[in-house]
A and B are shown apart, each in its own frame.
Chain A
């Protein structure tokens, strides 16, 4: 039987649970990681930062307090690592949200300077704090104390969370629903942890953060399950889900494009260029190696001619023999009837 100081047992328990959760997410993320996907790489960095934070939270519980072993410098160093890991994780969250919903790296690169400013300020403040104690400090008894600037430090850090929510909300307003991703699932455990940290003597933030990352990982897993790895479009599993969403009235298809793809050809360039020309309010499903469909929900006026021209141009440019045809929803047709008539679910 091991005896741990009863005053720290709660912190050890909660931080151990968080470290276990984050360890699990990290291993699963490493196991699942696919090379070449920038969003996946950013998510991996985010998970590593959260794992480091959780481990630092666990370790520091053993070194805090007058009776604990270890020097003051060690406690300050671990606390600095903990604070920095939270900041870096939130920075990566913003990048991840950006890459997930926008799929536009050029815009992100343009905004990068602006996003880096708070991170640089926080890193500089953390380093300065080691020597000055202007944000937080440990007294001679190795007891933690916060200064007034800590609130400002936290607000700057949460700026990333606010920006991530803003990006998501703006995308949703402009493009309707963002499937398989909802930042609210991330926000709720973080808020829960922050409130617990205020009202209880135990740091609940780390556990809240770990739970948020577990839920985010699950959302990503669900998305991966419906994604065709080669093209990046949806796979055939998504068709049933799409049918249910159309029946529920969430989507109203107006136009269907059917592609007949050539066999044994490298189509990665075609898929990449197709993504660029298709409107935002649409879903593309790769049914099998030679068949693919795009369901368009928004306004289709003038779209058919424009898309026909673009697809033809891409085919010629890539020297691919891609055939395609259109089906337009008639006025007297219901969305469900239109979809079921033209798409065979499950095959």
Chain B
């Protein structure tokens, strides 16, 4: 018989909540009916990746408690999906910010080198982590351990996120005043949520719900201003 701890329940509730919230937003976007806008397509991709990330997190936590046969393999798979989603979400966020405000700071190969290449390398590292355990690994008792690249991966994620925010903040059109407040709210919320995860021992992961909230509010904040 498996045993879910208080923290596992909290993570599952927050992950399913994230999926529910994102699904609601996707349905609303479709209902709104402004099809074909490049920024909306890019935002949709961001939302789908967030769902993938939350689903991976959920699978990882359930397998963590040996709920299924081959739990170690499933837990590794779940967390691989989570971390790959994590990095792809960061890259997509930057892409979305650039498309939304038609930011032309970088071009051609430079953009590829700074935007997509680190994301691709990061995703490749996450995928090969199954064999190397550089980011995380599960031991024989299906207990989770962080690897040497765990902190650098979070730093890379934060850089992408900040680059996206910078892209929005640098925008010099009339919408600038309109986006600063949601930007500040979301940045503070994310910082607080992630700090809580790191500072409070054994607390649940705030990543999916914090990220989902950040994107949804920022999008809603800027949507009607431009």
Interface of A toward B, CB cutoff 8 Å:
1-4, 6-14, 16-17, 20-21, 23-24, 27-28, 31, 185, 188-189, 192, 196, 200-202, 204, 207-208, 211, 214-215, 217-219, 221-222, 224-225, 240-241, 244-245
Q: How far is the CA of A109 from the CA of B153 in the complex (A)?
A: 58
Which of B7-15, B128-136, B142-150 forms part of the interface with chain A?
A: B7-15
Q: When A and B form their complex, what is the total count of cross-chain residue pairs whose Cβ atoms lie within 8 Å?
A: 142
Our pick among A1, A211, A224 for the contact of B201 (Cβ within 8 Å) is: A1
- B189 lies within 8 A of A202 (CB): no
List the B side residues contacting A24 at CB < 8 Å.
185-186, 189, 213, 217
Interface of B toward A, CB cutoff 8 Å:
5-11, 13-14, 16-17, 20-21, 24-25, 27-28, 32-35, 181-182, 185-186, 189, 192-193, 196, 199-204, 206, 209-210, 213, 216-217, 220-221, 223-224
In the assembled complex, how far is the CB of residue B177 from the closest CB belonging to chain A, in whole angstroms?
A: 11
List the B side residues contacting A27 at CB < 8 Å.
181, 185
Interface of B, secondary structure class, is helix
Our pick among A23, A200, A219, A241 for the contact of B13 (Cβ within 8 Å) is: A200
- B220 lies within 8 A of A241 (CB): no
In the A-B complex, list the 8 residue pairs whose CB atoms are closest, starting with the nearest.
A10-B6, A10-B10, A225-B224, A13-B10, A13-B204, A215-B24, A221-B220, A211-B21
- A31 lies within 8 A of B181 (CB): yes
Q: Select the residue from A9, A12, A245 with max chain B CB neighbours within 10 A.
A: A9
In the assembled complex, how far is the CB of residue B183 from the closest CB belonging to chain A, in whole angstroms?
A: 12
- A28 lies within 8 A of B17 (CB): no
Q: How far is the CA of A8 from the CA of B14 in the complex (A)?
A: 15
Our pick among A17, A189, A221, A244 for the contact of B14 (Cβ within 8 Å) is: A17
- B35 lies within 8 A of A244 (CB): yes
Q: How far is the CA of A99 from the CA of B201 in the complex (A)?
A: 46
List the A side residues contacting B181 at CB < 8 Å.
27-28, 31
Our pick among B10, B32, B216 for the contact of A202 (Cβ within 8 Å) is: B10
28 pairs from A and B in contact (CB 8 Å cutoff): A3-B200, A4-B201, A6-B202, A9-B7, A9-B204, A10-B7, A12-B200, A13-B206, A14-B13, A14-B14, A17-B193, A20-B210, A21-B209, A23-B185, A24-B185, A28-B182, A31-B182, A188-B20, A188-B24, A192-B17, A196-B13, A202-B13, A215-B24, A218-B25, A218-B28, A218-B216, A218-B220, A221-B223
List the A side residues contacting B220 at CB < 8 Å.
28, 217-218, 221
List the A side residues contacting B21 at CB < 8 Å.
189, 211, 214-215
In the assembled complex, how far is the CB of residue B93 from the closest CB belonging to chain A, in whole angstroms?
A: 17
- A9 lies within 8 A of B10 (CB): yes
In the assembled complex, how far is the CB of residue B186 from the closest CB belonging to chain A, in whole angstroms?
A: 7
Q: How far is the CA of A9 from the CA of B8 in the complex (A)?
A: 10
- B201 lies within 8 A of A192 (CB): no
Q: How far is the CA of A338 from the CA of B16 in the complex (A)?
A: 46
Q: How far is the CA of A222 from the CA of B34 in the complex (A)?
A: 11
- A214 lies within 8 A of B216 (CB): yes
List the B side residues contacting A28 at CB < 8 Å.
181-182, 185, 217, 220-221
- B193 lies within 8 A of A20 (CB): yes
List the A side residues contacting B6 at CB < 8 Å.
6-11, 201-202
A241-B221 contact given A24-B213, A196-B13, CB 8 Å threshold: no
- B10 lies within 8 A of A224 (CB): no
In the assembled complex, how far is the CB of residue B46 from the closest CB belonging to chain A, in whole angstroms?
A: 15
For residue B224, which residue of chain A has the nearest CB?
A: A225
List the B side residues contacting A189 at CB < 8 Å.
17, 20-21, 24
In the assembled complex, how far is the CB of residue B178 from the closest CB belonging to chain A, in whole angstroms?
A: 9
List the B side residues contacting A4 at CB < 8 Å.
200-201, 203
List the B side residues contacting A192 at CB < 8 Å.
16-17, 20
